[in-house]
Amino acid sequence: MKPLAILAFTLATVALSAQAAPPTSFSAAKRLAESQVYYDQDESFYCGCDFTFEGGPDLASCGYQVRKQAKRAARIEWEHVMPAYDIGRQRQCWQEGGRDHCRATDPTFRSAEADLHNLVPSVGEVNGDRSNLRYGMATGASAYQYGQCSAKVDFEEDVFQPPASQRGNVARTYWHMRDEYGIRISRQQEQLFQAWAKQDPVDAWERERNRRIAAIQGSGNPYVSDETLPAQAILPTTSVANDPGLPVSDDGFNCATRKTCGAMASCEEALYYLHQCGNKRLDRDKDGLPCERTCR
């Protein structure tokens, strides 16, 4: 190899090594996400709206219907798939002073908040509406759908439903954050995510995104690169006509039908609606057992 070629190779290697470092703050992570991960992407995460970082989303391109915040809907924001609240609330720093205190005093929180695997570009209004709501199936009468964008929010149930095409991405992101930072996930959410991951397997862009982030941070999400799923068994799933992402059991239970405790024919059915569909109203005392009269 000629001396100039050796020098060029050495400089390139040094440059790549310098890039393979996790961002040290949320602000730095947003800049890296735009310039090195999503630089050639033009669809928002939940709604698939065409966008540019400078001009914001083209709401007409995805049939988006503004719920309330037109100004915020006109911009693209970086959303934490696992909210900062979920990252921080299990840590002492959050109890002592919330997000700002965690940023100032807790290196683990700062790393988790800046983890590129957990950041996606979202229509600003959707990001604001989702906030720290848990993921689940928004099947209540009060649920709002953003026009042709199939994401839904239900403020009465405190739940946000991502479109079927992104549910596996959500699950795999949560598992990465759980494993990397020791963040606990409820049994109910784990069961739902296992179903979602099977219904929405890893696609080409998710793999490429993972590769780009790994080049920056030094490690990828193994649930994407290896398509590895937790060993815990889940209920079998098939498609239903009005939503191919809704879980369906061998007994015919499915999340497309909203049910109360009085309509449950068995404890098995009640457990399904609680854990698979995320209908927390069935467990008002939050002891993990729904519909006490049925599940005595």
Residue whose entry in the numeric block shows the structure tokens 């991502």: 162
The number of beta carbons lying within 10 Å of the beta carbon of residue 243 is 16
Name the range with the highest mean pLDDT among 86-100, 226-240, 279-293: 86-100
Which two three-digit tokens encode residue 24? Answer: 């040290």
pLDDT for residue 253 is more than 80: no
pLDDT digits (tens, 9 = 90+) for 173-184: 999 999 999 999
The number of beta carbons lying within 10 Å of the beta carbon of residue 3 is 7
Q: How far apart are CA 195 and CA 234, in angstroms?
A: 7
Q: Which residue has the higher pLDDT, 12 or 223?
A: 223
Residue whose entry in the numeric block shows the structure tokens 């959303």: 79
Q: How far apart are CA 225 and CA 207, in angstroms?
A: 6
Phi, psi of 172 (to 5 degrees): -65, -30
Worst-scoring range by mean pLDDT, 136-145, 215-224, 249-258? 249-258
pLDDT digits (tens, 9 = 90+) for 135-146: 999 988 999 999
The pLDDT value recorded for residue 263 is 78
* % of the chain at pLDDT higher than 70: 77
Q: How far apart are CA 117 and CA 140, in angstroms?
A: 31
Report pTM.
0.72
Mean pLDDT to the nearest integer, 63-69: 96
Q: Which residue has the higher pLDDT, 69 or 19?
A: 69
